[in-house]
């Protein structure tokens, strides 16, 4: 059997990797076509900042470049971790009270590019789009906001996350190449797998994480829809002026 924690050649079929998923204990996976690549760059933008200092520090110690936004970048810097602002990548500042931060081709191109598609790679090079291998995002706490007594529709609207779900869905769609994390409880899994696989995660783990993302964004949209369906335009002050 292959040595624990190391990628092993498996003939013309690619490499075998050990997954750190609890339900994948002691199982090695063969990746057809050898599609995995080392995580070298991460974008982190989280509302729930529990564990993020430690996670970012561990990533940095493994040589991962960290890109972040606003309050998340500040928290990570406080931990002594070097961070690039997303504006350093896009060439545009965060604007419109934070409504526009990551909605840019230099972010989403780096996430959605098919890594072994020569045209995609050439377009990334032509337009200076950096590859983004890991996306760590959780969303504005919409349900907590609308649960507050007397919350207005205007306040609720400002807590509808746009950039976060877009980053998550882009990453989950491209799980063949990109690792996406929406739940802080998965930080340990990612770090363990990276340590065992020379900075990489397995395709099976990326698929597991992608499914988690689509479940999260589906529930998020459902919560927004349910809230908006309770609003009566004939009586709500939002529609009066």
Give the residue, 152 or 13, on which the prediction is more confident: 152
Roughly what angle, to the nearest 10 degrees, separates helices 203-229 and 187-196?
Answer: 160
**Residue 88: per-residue pLDDT:** 85
Q: Examine the pLDDT at 28 and tell me if it is beyond 70.
A: no
**Residue 25: per-residue pLDDT:** 43
**Residue 241: per-residue pLDDT:** 67
Per-residue pLDDT of 166-188, as tens digits, reads 999 999 999 999 999 999 999 99
Q: Which run of H or E residues covers position 61?
A: helix 52-61
Per-residue pLDDT of 48-107, as tens digits, reads 999 999 999 999 999 999 999 888 999 999 999 999 988 888 776 776 666 667 777 788
> What would the mean pLDDT of 107-115 be, rounded to a whole number?
87
Q: What are phi and psi of 41, to 5 degrees?
A: -145, 135
Per-residue pLDDT of 185-206, as tens digits, reads 999 999 999 999 999 999 999 9
Q: Which of 139, 131, 191 is nearest to 168 (CA)?
A: 139
Integer Cα distance of 59 and 81 in angstroms: 9
> Which CATH code is given to the segment(s) 18-230?
3.40.50.1380
Two tokens, residue 14: 């690619």
According to DSSP, the residues that pair with 8 across neighbouring strands are: 16
Integer Cα distance of 179 and 172 in angstroms: 8
Location of structure tokens 């974008």: 43
Integer Cα distance of 55 and 57 in angstroms: 5
Residue 140's pLDDT band, with cuts at 50, 70 and 90, is confident
**Residue 36: per-residue pLDDT:** 55
Burial of 134 (0-12, 13-18, 19+ CB in 10 A): buried
pTM for this predicted structure: 0.80
Q: Examine the pLDDT at 121 and tell me if it is beyond 90.
A: no
Q: Which of 39, 46, 66 is nearest to 197 (CA)?
A: 39
Check: CB of residue 4 under 8 Å from CB of residue 18: yes
Domain ranges of the chain: 18-230
Q: Which run of H or E residues covers position 67?
A: strand 65-68
pLDDT over 90 percentage in the chain: 54
Q: Examine the pLDDT at 7 and tell me if it is beyond 50.
A: no
Q: What are phi and psi of 126, to 5 degrees?
A: -60, -40
**Residue 95: per-residue pLDDT:** 65
> What would the mean pLDDT of 216-222 be, rounded to a whole number?
93
Q: HSE (CB half, 13 Å, CA atoms) of 59?
A: 32
Integer Cα distance of 41 and 86 in angstroms: 12
Q: Examine the pLDDT at 38 and tell me if it is beyond 60.
A: yes
> What would the mean pLDDT of 106-116 be, rounded to a whole number?
86
> What would the mean pLDDT of 125-130 be, rounded to a whole number?
87
């Amino acid at each position: 059997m292959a040595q624990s924690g190391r990628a092993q050649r498996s003939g013309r079929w690619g490499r075998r990797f050990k997954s750190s998923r609890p339900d994948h204990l002691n199982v090695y996976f063969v990746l057809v076509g050898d599609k995995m690549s080392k995580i070298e760059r991460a974008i982190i933008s989280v509302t729930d900042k529990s564990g993020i200092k430690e996670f970012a520090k561990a990533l940095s110690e493994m040589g991962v470049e960290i890109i972040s936004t606003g309050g998340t970048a500040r928290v990570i810097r406080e931990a002594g971790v070097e961070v690039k602002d997303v504006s350093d990548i896009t060439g545009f500042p965060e604007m419109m009270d934070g409504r526009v931060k990551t909605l840019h081709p230099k972010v989403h191109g780096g996430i959605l590019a098919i890594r072994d598609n020569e045209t995609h790679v050439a377009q990334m090079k032509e337009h200076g789009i950096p590859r983004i291998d890991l996306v760590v995002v959780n969303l504005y706490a919409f349900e907590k906001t609308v649960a507050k007594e007397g919350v207005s529709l205007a306040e609720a609207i400002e807590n509808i996350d746009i950039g976060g779900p877009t980053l998550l869905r882009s990453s989950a769609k491209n799980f063949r190449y990109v690792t996406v994390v929406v739940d802080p409880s998965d930080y340990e899994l990612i770090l363990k797998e990276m340590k065992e696989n020379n900075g990489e995660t397995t395709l099976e783990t990326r698929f597991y994480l992608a499914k988690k993302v689509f479940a999260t964004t589906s529930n998020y949209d459902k919560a927004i829809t349910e809230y908006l369906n309770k609003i009566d335009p004939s009586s709500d002050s939002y529609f009066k002026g």
